Amino acid sequence: MVQSFSSLFVHLVFSTKGRRMVLSDSVRDSLHAYMGKVLQNLGCTPVLINSVEDHVHLLFNLARTVAVSKAIQDVKSSSSQWLKTQGAAFAEFSWQVGFGVFSISESDVESVREYIAGQREHHRRIAFQDEYRELMRRHGIKFDEQYGWD
């Protein structure tokens, strides 16, 4: 085979350090755009990025030449550095160390996109930690709660 092809959709979730409620409406759209640009610079195609005050969801198509760990590292470190330039409220900003990353089949992209788009409404009913536990359960991932939150 002369060419290489891939179609790897990824749902990435991570929180602010200590789940601090700092991702305000004033910065949210710019943050999403910035994260999307970081992904595009890696050759990844963002489908949807959305957040609430304490965490962010990204749905994107991973470029065939980029390791998922590289994409995550670049998005988190670049956006953290960028947020620190957005005013005094963000001077000490950082993301949690960990993350959840889940593979999404092409047939599920639209339902995951809708789920991410509805985050504000979703979190009126369910806390982030419960949402995260459910994502882990659905994807067959066991994790130790003692180390799951930072």
Per-residue pLDDT tens over the stretch 89-129: 999 999 999 898 999 999 999 999 999 999 888 777 877 77
| pLDDT confidence band for 24 (50 / 70 / 90) | very high
Domains in the chain, CATH or no CATH each: 8-140 (3.30.70.1290)
How many C-beta neighbours within 10 Å does residue 82 have? 18
Cα 30 to Cα 93: distance, rounded to the nearest angstrom: 16
pLDDT above 70 as % of the chain: 93
Average pLDDT over residues 13-33: 94
Please give the order of strands across the beta sheet that includes 100-104: 45-52, 55-62, 8-15, 100-104
CB 38 within 8 A of CB 79: yes
What does the block give as tokens for 111? 């339902």
Q: What is the mean pLDDT of the chain?
A: 89
pTM of structure: 0.88
